[in-house]
Structure 1
């Protein structure tokens, strides 16, 4: 697993994939539950890939810390493993295997550094490896224990996935928005501008987090948008954007949208916008929502840096999966088209309950 030829990103990606292969081999040799099922392995692999990417960045002198969103994702993963009845010992053993193969790879990579710098870089990277793994293991243990104590192990697959999506889309996104507002607050201050609105937006995002967390803990999962779909999208956009022009168009009657559908559609649109703000560096983002009595169609398109959908999953993969699962759960479809240097286009469509069409007919005859 020595350094390979090519640009640094290509070399790091090659090292990561080599370690992932060794990690999978170690789990298969031990007949771990994490590699018996493709879906379970995919989540373990994606998490390992994020960990290794962080460690290699630390090895190359970059300032890295485990993101709060990674902890929330790990907590949701712990809940899923409780539902899937995967014993905690399997996760602990997987952490042990990952630490061993990851350390071996870091040692091999450090040999390519000039004398006098390799050891200090290696020490930093190994500490990052330990921190990345232990932070996620602790978060997953919290999720696992919470699920076990509340008896959610008996819940069905749909409920399990819904809970994981809710943690990501409500708690994770709101906390991410609060952190982004604080980052923008510092940037505005440095530029000599007024930044008080950023603090207000951060406070509101944290209030939303607390509100949803209370409902989740109490078992109610009660969440409703405070305003119309357009107003909620505009509010999020104003809080999260750092200068990109966002054009929002809502066509049709929001009265045709049941409250639960309206919430789900907003969450998908918000995740699209969050990805664009975080990853795309776009100058313009267009949001188009068309509401008909029998369905809703939405397109979110940006002119940012884009990405290769066929490339290995990155930090945005959790959000993409959540969006797709949420739309599929509504009986709809979601398509993503993206090209490096051109931009990204997300289009989804979901059906509406027949009551909307019946209501339209009644209104036409009154």
Structure 2
């Protein structure tokens, strides 16, 4: 449906203002995407699509990122690979576009009626975030596949690794950010004052996306866990749950026995199990127990939710990624439960120095649903 003339003009003006900010930011940084006309043409076209979706959300129009946009972004990633555009330049451009879009939408939201300013602004920023990172993820896949094809290094293991990384790091952090925003809106609507700063949690999750994306495209390995295993589990539970007290966690044994790579992989498996419990189980309580022995690790995530169906049509991306991580550590993962009887995710893997090389080569991952 066509917009009225004044609304269409307002939409066009907001998009043009944001594109101008975007181009200015890229020029200041000397980004090649704006310095070369052939690169800027495709970059500007994509930016206009993203910003248009954001403006529509600001005006209260329901918007979803079209599948065609993901396919176009994947093709754009292939193109930039063939033109030898360093991936970090694309990541930097995404950040500049996000900042430009937020600035323009914030100014525009200030002109809206007071009673709808905050929800419309949140909706627009969420749409901007989703539009950018859906395309960034697709472009990264296109770039990666083209690069690996060109150098003859495409392998099933590498594709699985990339899928797990996109799922567990980018997908999980984006899901957490959106959940924090949903919880913020729900608590605000009920007049509830949360003990959590949901917006700060969302910002932290988005910073994690940027940090991991940079490390991935530049080939760097980063230390994912800044605190102890229990602290990281508790922090995720508090941010993702609307009832922080529903999760109890315990670490038995000496965490220093865990090699750093195994510790990171274990956290990603536990976090995916928690994410699934929050999303699907409708549980009243979730227990996390990690037992660390000198030669092995046992971990369980148990919820008292709706349980597993009698029949399941295959495994989701999340469970597949969890199994691949645990298998790379030389261990096993079991899913125990039934309808109305809750669910237990049980992980076991050995600790021995001989598997360090295997862990480094095969155990990095992605996000999805167990059920």
Query: TM tier, shorter chain?
Result: 0.5 to 0.7
- Structure 2 counterparts to residues 18-167 of structure 1, below 5 A: 143-149=141-147, 151=150, 154-167=153-166
Aligned twin of 1:246? 247
1:327 matched residue in structure 2: 326
Distance 2:144 2:221 in 1: 16
Q: Tell me how far apart the structure 1 counterparts of residues 261 and 186 of structure 2 sit (CA, whole Å).
A: 36
Q: Distance in 1 between matches of 2:181 and 2:275?
A: 15
Task: Tell whether 2:219 aligns with 1:206.
Answer: no
CA distance in 1, matches of 2:340, 2:151: 44
> What TM-score results when the alignment is normalised by the length of structure 2?
0.56
- Where relative contact order (Cα < 8 A, 6+ residues apart) is larger, the structure is 2
User: Cα 1:338–1:221, aligned 2, differ >3 Å: closer, same or farther?
Assistant: same
Kindly tell me: are residues 67 and 204 of structure 1, through their superposed partners in 2, closer, same or farther at Cα, counting changes over 3 Å?
Answer: farther
1:315-343, Cα deviation, whole Å (9 max, x unpaired): x7111111111111111000001212221
Contiguous gaps of at least 5 residues in structure 1: 1-62, 80-135, 357-366
List runs of 5+ in structure 2 lacking aligned partners: 1-61, 79-133, 356-371
Kept in 1: contact 2:249–2:289 (CA 8 A): yes
| RMSD over equivalenced CA pairs, Å | 3.2
Q: 1:220 to 1:141 in 2, by over 3 A?
A: closer
8 Å CA contact 1:212, 1:223 repeated in 2:
no
| Contact 1:309–1:338 (CA under 8 A) maintained in structure 2 | no
**Does the Cα contact within 8 Å between 2:288 and 2:299 map onto a contact in 1?**
yes
Tell me the TM-score normalised to structure 1 length.
Answer: 0.57
The equivalent of 2:188 in structure 1 is: 189
Three-state SS of the structure 1 residue aligned to 2:325 is helix
Aligned length: 232
Q: CA deviation at 1:194?
A: 2.3
- Report the 3-state secondary structure (helix = DSSP H, G, I; strand = E; otherwise coil) of the residue aligned with 2:336: strand
Q: CA deviation at 1:183?
A: 0.4
Distance 1:137 1:175 in 2: 13
Q: Given that residues 296 and 349 in structure 1 are in contact (C-alpha distance below 8 angstroms), is that contact kept between their aligned partners in structure 2?
A: yes
Cα distance, 1:67 vs structure 2 = 10
TM-superposed CA distance for 1:142, in Å, is 5.7
Q: Give the corresponding residue for 1:175.
A: 174
Specify the alignment match of 1:261 in structure 2: 262
What is the deviation of 1:157? Answer: 3.1
